[in-house]
Amino acid sequence: MQFYNVQQKQCITSPTTVQEVFMKRLVLTAFLTLAATATVSAYPSWVNSPTATLYTNTKWIQLKSLATDNVFNDDQLIYTWSQVSGPQSTFGQNNGTNQAKNLWAFPPLSGGTAQPGTYVFKCTVKNPNNAGINANAPDLTVGDGNEIATIEVWPPYVTAKPYNSVTFRATARNSAGQIVSPQPHFTWTLSTGGSKTVSPDTRECWVPTNGVSATECYVSAAAGTQENYGSFTVGDKTALLNQAKQKITHVIVIMQENRSFDNYFGTYPGSDNLERVGLINENPARFKLNTTVKGEPVYGHENSYAETELATSNIESERNIIKADGYIAANPGKNMAQCFAYHDGTQIPNYWTMANQFVLQDRMFQAAKCYSLPSHLYMVSGWSADCSGSPCVTEIGDIANGGIPNGETVQFNPMPVTGRYGDPERYQQRYRWSNMADLFDSKSVEWGYYLGENFNTTCTSCDAFCFDGNDPVWTYFNALKWFQGIDKNKSQRKVWSSDANDGTTFMRGLRNNTLPAVSWIVPGFLASEHSGSINGTSSNLKTGHNYVTSIIKLIMQYPDIWEHCAIFISWDDWGGKYDHVVPPTVDNYGYGPRVPGLMISPYAKQGMVDHQTLSHDAYLKFIEDLFCNGERLGGDGRPTIREDSPFLGDLLFEFDFNQSPRSPDAFLNAIQCINAN
């Protein structure tokens, strides 16, 4: 029998091909009982309810039934299908014994689409003894608000690297904005022609950028009568880098703690968020606004990213998201409400204002699947290793034990003298791989690592005098200190000091215009946004929000620094909080889950949501290209040079150096320093 696939515009003659095509469409299973000795099995099906709904441009219905009998062979059973109710359909069914497991029903067409209505079918299975039973298949409704109203192509726009590829994904939605299921067959076209690769389910399209000019290239996905576009531009890195070297003289990296992207930007417009993939509509009881900002529970990191395979839901079949199972399994007995809940711009207004006025990165991933210490090591060296033996080996901690290496405990500065990594001599032996400080010293690039341990957690003005408190820095955040041969005068600087003679502080560098080319800033615990508490005092995300705002506000008040700077803000790891995006695999250790990322500069593209795939390795790449002539860290046995990964995007594409340096006034006027008590 030959069938014409209207959506794929081709004739299908092979029974195997027919089965493969229809298995990607609706498969309804009739459950049957033959006799006392009979058992029943069913074909795999995404249908897990007695009813199912299709969109009206579906041109056929397929139902499958498979019965087995303990007495008679499978090829002796006889299947007979009939329609019980609904608009009269045309049947396609093979005749004969064991040839009628599959029913193809063609609903009557009205104006080229299937006639809306509820279709009910029945299957009768008999064995040679004429024993059998009639079984109704699940009801099938065609139409009923599930027609394709729009098609989303994601990302809508991205700047790509030369000699790389761009991935676009299509999603069909109904008039209510809900994801229709099953998803239709998509037809992909390129405005410039050229090659492309389409996934078997037609949801994704991969476009190589080789040979594509810097002009915008449109990628369209069509299904039925609907069509939409995504686009990409192949960036000219050489020209941008030359401009950056003239305009940017200061790079400042501010690293906060333990937040996933969805936790902070799960509803931010234009980003890849919880709303876009339908999770909030699907499960509003789980994915809801988190009104708790102080004393949030600490969720385990271990195994919470283990469920990073394709997840199936009753909203969208084969949706590429992280399932919640791993997060729940990692936290037995814990209340998971705040793990899946999200914050919004009412609670962290300045972060959302930064995203609106500067650049938000919605595919920034933690460098490795690990906890805070290795994350901070990756931030300053592109690796986390143990060099106490030879050769050096990757060490990212025992995730199954909460990410903490055996014998080590959470401590504050100064580093304890006991424990696996507490012995200073062993520390020096362990930390012998190359880091950015070594590279800077070899290139005469000035640098500083600043501890934000003096932030006053009761301050609500976001001014310089907020740095007159006592908020100790966690050992894990102070990773650069222990490297062999490190300059302690540079690795242990403070954001602010009560010592008027201390000319090395970050504030003094701003005031005297002596800030180094590269600055890292890490927080005290209470200003870190890390969940949990110390000495009976709970952390508060609003405190961290005010702390970061204070630093940005300080920088903006000094034009000689502001007009020549690039500021990167991110969070070291996801903190066990849910994020729906599956991290790319670049090596055996990463990437880890997605975290928020922001870029602030007078040359930032205003309001840009950067959809490039990034990790904290991108900071090293940007700094090396800008100040070190593109020289990379290496020669120490590290398994990969992360900065050169083909997965990694380029932060240069977030800048517009042709614009005049933007005034910070709009942001300064919008600042909301909130009461964190």
Distance of CA 662 to the CA centre of its chain: 30
Q: How many beta carbons lie within 10 A of that of residue 500, not counting itself? A: 7
Task: Render pLDDT for 619-632 as a digit per residue (tens, 0 to 9).
Answer: 999 999 999 999 99
Other CB atoms within a 10 A radius of the CB of residue 629 amount to 9
Mean pLDDT by 10 residues, the chain (677 residues): 28 25 28 33 32 53 63 70 76 50 67 66 70 52 62 90 84 78 80 80 84 74 83 88 97 96 96 89 88 77 45 38 74 84 94 98 93 90 87 69 40 36 54 93 96 83 77 80 85 85 90 96 91 74 92 95 98 90 86 95 97 96 97 92 92 96 95 79
CB burial of residue 389 (10 Å; 0-12, 13-18, 19+): exposed
Side-chain half-sphere exposure of 290, counting CA atoms within 13 A? 27
Question: Cα 127 from chain centroid?
Answer: 53
What is the Cα–Cα distance from 375 to 390, expressed in whole angstroms? 23
pLDDT digits (tens, 9 = 90+) for 469-501: 788 787 778 888 878 888 888 988 999 887 877
* DSSP conformation letters of 516-527: -SEEEEEE-GGG
Q: Where are the alpha helices (DSSP H) in 359-414?
A: 372-381
Could you identify the residue written with the tokens 């005049």?
660
Instruction: Considering only the C-alpha atoms of the chain, give the largest distance between any 2 of them, rounded to a whole number of Å.
Output: 101
Q: What is the pTM of this model?
A: 0.78
Q: What is the DSSP letter of 653?
A: G
Report the candidate in 116, 123, 147 with the shortest Cα–Cα distance to residue 65: 123
Query: Which CATH superfamily does the domain covering 150-235 fall into?
Result: Immunoglobulins (2.60.40.10)
Q: Compute the distance between CA of residue 640 and CA of residue 424 in angstroms, rounded to an integer.
A: 28
Joined tokens for residue 428: 């020096």
Measured CA to CA, the distance from residue 361 to residue 378 in angstroms comes to: 19
Rg of the chain (C-alpha set): 29
What is the C-alpha separation between 575 and 310, in angstroms, rounded? 22
Contact between 340 and 287 (Cβ < 8 Å): yes
Give the length of the chain: 677
pLDDT at 114: 67
What DSSP string describes 497-511? -S-TT-TTSHHHHHH
Q: State the Cα–Cα distance between residues 549 and 357, nearest whole angstrom.
A: 14
As a whole number of angstroms, the distance between CA 593 and CA 583 comes to 6
Cα–Cα distance for residue pair 203/350, rounded to 1 Å: 36
- Do 150-235 and 246-262+340-670 have matching folds? no
The CATH code of the domain at 246-262+340-670 is 3.40.720.10
Residues 6 or more apart whose CB falls under 8 angstroms from that of 418 comprise: none
Measured distance CA(265)–CA(274) in Å, rounded:
9
Residue 230 structure tokens: 């995504």
Q: Give the fold, CATH level 3, of 3-142.
A: Immunoglobulin-like (2.60.40)
Residue 134 has phi, psi (to 5 degrees) of -90, 135
Q: Which residues contact 520 (CB under 8 A, 6 or more apart)?
A: 253, 255, 379, 380, 447, 448, 449, 450, 480
**495 touches 551 (CB < 8 A):** yes
The whole-angstrom separation of Cα 588 and Cα 394 is: 10
What are 501-510's contacts with CB under 8 Å, separation 24+? 504/448, 505/450, 506/448, 506/450, 506/551, 507/464, 507/467, 507/554, 509/448, 510/554, 510/555, 510/557, 510/558, 510/561
- The domain spans of the chain are 3-142, 150-235, 246-262+340-670
- Give the amino acid at 654: E
> How many other CB atoms are found less than 10 A from the CB of residue 111?
7
